[in-house]
Amino acid sequence: MHRTDALVVPVAVPIWHVMDSGRTPRVGDPVAWTLRFTRYREDVPHDLFDPPETFAEFEGEAHTVFTDSRDGRAIVLVEGSGLAAFWLTRGPFEGDGQLRGRLQVDPTGGPTAVAVPLTEGRIRRVLKVVREFQREGISWTPRVGRVKVVESDEQPSWVPDDADERQWLFSELLVDLEIAP
C-alpha cells in the first residue's frame, strides 16, 4: 500500500475567536474550519506584522468563483492537498502550482456569495504570536516589525498593563494543522 504524507500547514487563529469560543485549541484536537487565504506579499496589508513562520506553502489551484460587478473585486477559491480557503482579491485570478500565503480561521463561515468547503484536520502544534505594542494616549498601537512566535506555554498577556509604555502582547495562536491526503 502506498502512503502519501499528510500536509501540515500553519493556520492563524485570532485571539478574539479563542475568547469567543471559550476554548483554546490543543494538540491532537480534530478541527473543521473555514479558512481565509491571503497571498504572500501581494495582498498582505502589513507583511511586517507577520513572521515567516505564519506563511504556508502548498500545491494547489486558485480560481475565481464570484466577481462583484460594482468594483471588480473577486472571491477566489483556493484548493489543494486537502485544504480549501477563500481569498478576497482586487480582481479575478486563475492559477495553479505552488501557492504561498497566510491561512487564517474565519469563524464567520466566509463570504455569503460562495460556499467555502471546511478544511478538516488535526492540530499538531500550538504556538503564540506576540507583538510589541506602544502606548499612544489611551490606546495601544502595534510596532512595525516587532512580532515573534513563542511556545504556547510562555505567558504574554492579551491585556495591556497600564504601567508600561511598551509591552509584548498575545495577538493570535499559530497552529500546525495536519490535513490528511
- pLDDT > 70? residue 69: yes
Query: Among residues 99, 98, 152, 101, which one has the least CA distance to residue 130?
Result: 152
Phi, psi of 46 (to 5 degrees): -135, 65
Query: Among residues 44, 42, 21, which one has the least CA distance to residue 33?
Result: 21
Whole-number pLDDT of residue 1:
38
Phi, psi of 139 (to 5 degrees): -110, 170
User: Which residue did the predictor score with more confidence, 50 or 115?
Assistant: 115
Percent of the chain with pLDDT over 70: 85
pLDDT digits (tens, 9 = 90+) for 75-84: 889 988 889 9
- Average pLDDT, integer, range 156-162: 60
Query: Among residues 60, 58, 59, 94, which one has the least CA distance to residue 76?
Result: 94
pLDDT digits (tens, 9 = 90+) for 53-66: 788 888 888 888 88
What is the pTM (predicted TM-score) of this model? 0.81
